[in-house]
Amino acid sequence: MIVRLNALSKSILCAIALGGNLNNPAETFDAALTRLNDHPRISVTARSPWYTTPPMGPPQPDYLNGCALLETTLDSSELLAMLLDTETQLGRVREVHWGPRTLDLDLLLYGDSIIELPHLTVPHLGLGDRAFMLKPLADIAADWVDPRSGKTIKQLLQTIDCSEIHLAVN
């Protein structure tokens, strides 16, 4: 018998970002969310619409981006390991910093925690100034307060230019 979100452990609401611009990102995102939801200690509770966005870094195709909310009993390092493993299982190869990729999964928020470890910083350092993270996150968690700035996702979104973010045909 599989018990979802161990009743003895407190579940934490987390936000992740999904990005990709190789192969079929929408299919890859669906596979990633299915894989995460199949984990006995993770439940995917919401996902944003997908958006097309211009790339950061070297010349490459536009990205598809979105966000999802997860409830988990994994600690932040365990969740990060699961995200990285999911990237690898779905074809992610790290060759060029900010280069093209099949899948990028970033842990944006882990409850109301501020985490500063050598391998993980939460809230994600780019959260407050990246429209491709804030716009989809605002669709599913507009009132979530960023513990670093004390502002809601909706308030953070109002301070940045979203003119290059476009709703994708889902």
Residues designated as active site: 92, 101, 104, 106
CA distances from 49 to 7, 54, 82, 115, 137 (A): 31, 17, 23, 28, 10
Please tell me the distance from the alpha carbon of residue 84 to that of residue 97, in angstroms, as a whole number: 16
Pairing of strands 42-47, 12-20: unpaired
5 closest CA partner among 77, 70, 94:
70
User: Which residue, among 98, 105, 130, has the nearest Cα to 25 in the 3D structure?
Assistant: 105
Q: Tokens 């669906």 identify what position?
A: 30
Amino acid at 98: W
Q: CA–CA separation, 40 vs 4, rounded Å?
A: 5
